[in-house]
């Protein structure tokens, strides 16, 4: 499992496909924040990406392959 994150949220990848994704909203990970006060800090998004990738790797008896920051998609 590996992860990609940016200010918009993060995705967890396994065998070339996304197996989990989350947005950057402080109260609802299924949403993208529209205002700065609703947006999670980048450090927090990175931490969640790492934690989730490790958890999914453990659940699937896989290997954690690290995370990387990618280009932001939303303005």
45-63: pLDDT as tens digits: 999 999 999 999 999 999 9
Here the tokens at position 66 are 């690290």
Look at residue 58 and tell me if it is in a domain.
Answer: no
> How confident is the model at residue 72, as a pLDDT?
85
Q: Is residue 28 part of a domain?
A: yes
Name 25's Cβ contacts closer than 8 Å, sequence gap at least 6: 31, 32, 33, 38, 39, 40
pLDDT reported for residue 9? 96
3-state secondary structure of 31: coil
- Structural domain total, the chain: 1
Largest Cα span, the chain: 38
Residue ranges making up the domain that contains 18: 1-36
pLDDT 10s digits, 24-47: 999 999 998 989 999 999 999 999
**Across the beta sheet with 9-14, what order do the strands follow?**
17-23, 9-14, 2-6, 67-69
């Amino acid at each position: 499992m590996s992860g990609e994150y940016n200010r918009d949220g993060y995705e967890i990848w396994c065998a070339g496909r996304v197996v989990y994704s989350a947005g950057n909203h402080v109260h609802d990970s299924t949403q993208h924040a529209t205002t700065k006060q609703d947006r999670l800090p980048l450090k927090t998004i990175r931490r969640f990406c790492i934690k989730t990738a490790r958890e999914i790797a453990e659940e699937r008896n896989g290997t954690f392959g690290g995370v990387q920051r990618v280009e932001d998609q939303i303005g």
